[in-house]
Amino acid sequence: MLGKPLVSAAPSAKLQENYLAAKKEYDSAPTDAEKLIWLGRRAGYTGRFNEAITLFSKGIEVHPKNPKFYRHRGHRYLTTRQIDKAILDFRKAAALTKNQPDEIEPDGQPNRLNKPLSTLQFNIWYHLGLAYYLKGDFKQALSAYEECLKRSRNNDDSLVATSDWLYMTLRRLNRDAEAKKVLDPITEKMDIIENTSYWNRLLMYKGLRTPESVLDPKGADDLTIATQGYGVGNWYLYNRQPEKANEIFNRVLAGKQWAAFGYLAAEAEIARTQR
């Protein structure tokens, strides 16, 4: 978004091994939709984002009514900063799943309990909300996150992930009273398996954590900065400290975790100030 080249880091041996295994599986059954989806996902995990987009596009040609291809291609359009294309894909996926039963989406990089926590429809609306948020279209982002919230009640991890972005969206719309209500279900005794970053940010917004306890920019690594920095930067923005906010946003951009959603959001933030 700032005209800076984005270069993928070399994948770990494990990610590369998983990619090659997925390719072998797909080559054995090239008409199998699930095998093609997994090859595209594994390509993305190794940093082959353009290849992933090509694979999902191939899937759409063969399986045009399968919402999973649009959902996953939309994700990689976000990664590669093709936001308008991502929105079209997520809206198509939402239309294809309308009035359909939801389903658990298996994790490509499992959590510590090896327990998938999100669903297909959750991910469609979650990513659509993010796409609108990145464009600064907060009204459309709000609508998407409200739909996502309907699909976030089955576990605390989904609830905190959606609530974090919903809260930030409402604050951008100056609907502070509604934003405060989003924090009502958020407590220090939630059962969080993987979304600790979102949980801590919400507790910070609620006044139960300090920004310094959530993020120490001087001692944090790039991944921590990317996952926590945008939320902490927003806290300073909400509290009328824009210079401090921009300092943290730029610290996020100084790292290498450019595929992280917090990095995308910080990048969009700085890009808006330069227009």
pLDDT digits (tens, 9 = 90+) for 22-31: 999 999 999 9
Is the pLDDT assigned to residue 217 strictly greater than 70?
no
Please count the other Cβ atoms lying within 10 Å of the Cβ belonging to residue 140.
17
First-to-last C-alpha distance (Å) of the chain: 11
Q: Hey, what CATH topology would domain 15-98 get?
A: 1.25.40
Is the pLDDT assigned to residue 275 strictly greater than 90?
no
Report domain extents, the chain: 15-98, 210-275
pLDDT digits (tens, 9 = 90+) for 183-199: 999 999 999 999 999 99
Place 220 in a pLDDT band, splitting at 50, 70 and 90: confident
pLDDT on residue 174: 95
Contact 239, 220 (CB under 8 A): no
Distance separating alpha carbons of residues 210 and 241, to the nearest angstrom = 15
Pairwise pLDDT comparison (79 vs 223), residue with the higher score: 79
pLDDT digits (tens, 9 = 90+) for 145-159: 999 999 998 899 999
DSSP-derived secondary structure for 228-248: HHHHHHHHHHHTT-HHHHHHH
Predicted model pTM? 0.96
CA 135, 138, 143, 147 dihedral sign is: positive
Comparing 17-21, 93-97, 167-171, 254-258, which segment has the lowest mean pLDDT?
Answer: 254-258
